[in-house]
Structure 1
């Protein structure tokens, strides 16, 4: 295996043709746009998390026995919803951050022809996809468990 060292962290064209450089420039713009939209989504999740307790707690103020029971349940459920939304916001934040860092470093690398910035950009893209891949694998596993338990529950209900 050959070992390569960078003589300089500045390269005129990274050894890439103009078409590929154009694709990278467009990719950086879209990645930055998507990451900014992602940050806005995270901010909305955090806002909903902090207002969930209040909204669910107000369910009991509409009157009636059912509404009163909903209000009690809502106060407890609001706390649970707050924690859940904050957890989802935290999970959503990291891949968005990695995507933003990828876009920023790629734009910097393309403007300054900096090899180190290009390497850092693709390192962040790798982190982004690794995070998404691990999260997807975990969710597929959870869905599989739900499926197995649903079948077992159905079998138990059929024999009862």
Structure 2
């Protein structure tokens, strides 16, 4: 058991910030400090994933261009195959941009947490939470886009199958 000094000022878990304009508890600061290493780790992995995805996309496009110029390939199949592969390479590039943007948002969030832990400013807390909200808004938009694209692809596949069945193919 500890003995309290009867003449000491009372201590609070709430820290007065910027001359009384707001209060940030130690729990809030510690919770954000604990998430920062994981946010930074995921941001770094996102940048690495974006770079690797872009490299694969470039390799696919280059190889498909080389494949289209090969002699001895069936003239009807070669353009379709190389065109399809170029489309896949472009899709990889788009995915790399998405990975890069999400990693950038996470990096900004980690930076805002770092500024908050040193300044203990309400403005920095608000900036950190705004960065976090921006990241989740981006992820939400991407999920909605992927749901819509999935439904469109399923309908296109179903329509193609029905068309081929009706044509007797």
TM-score normalised according to structure 1 size: 0.73
Cα gap change, 1:54 to 1:120, in 2 (>3 Å): same
Question: How many residue pairs are counted as aligned between the two chains?
Answer: 152
Moved more, 88-97 or 24-33: 88-97
Distance (Å, rounded) in 1 between the aligned partners of 2:20 and 2:63: 55
The root-mean-square deviation of aligned C-alpha atoms, in Å, is 3.5
Among candidates 58, 81, 103, match of residue 50 of structure 1: 58
The runs of 5 or more residues in structure 1 that have no matched partner are 1-6
Cα gap change, 1:98 to 1:9, in 2 (>3 Å): farther
Distance (Å, rounded) in 1 between the aligned partners of 2:81 and 2:19: 57
Q: Deviations over 1:124-155 (max 9, x none)?
A: 11111111101111111121223333444444
The corresponding residue for 1:80 is 87
The corresponding residue for 2:134 is 127
Q: Deviations over 1:101-130 (max 9, x none)?
A: 001111221122132222111111111111
Distance (Å, rounded) in 1 between the aligned partners of 2:82 and 2:88: 10
Among candidates 28, 34, 52, match of residue 36 of structure 2: 28
Distance (Å, rounded) in 2 between the aligned partners of 1:102 and 1:39: 15
Distance (Å, rounded) in 1 between the aligned partners of 2:157 and 2:83: 27
Q: Which runs of 4+ in 1 moved over 6 A?
A: 9-13, 60-63
Cα gap change, 1:87 to 1:58, in 2 (>3 Å): same
The runs of 5 or more residues in structure 2 that have no matched partner are 1-16
Distance (Å, rounded) in 1 between the aligned partners of 2:134 and 2:116: 18
The corresponding residue for 2:24 is 14
8 A Cα contact 2:23 2:122, kept in partner: no
Q: If each structure's helix is expressed as a fraction of its own residues, which one has the higher value?
A: 1
Tell whether 2:120 aligns with 1:110.
no
Cα gap change, 1:43 to 1:9, in 2 (>3 Å): farther
Q: Deviations over 1:27-61 (max 9, x none)?
A: 11100110011011111122223222332344478
TM-score normalised according to structure 2 size: 0.69
Distance (Å, rounded) in 1 between the aligned partners of 2:20 and 2:66: 60
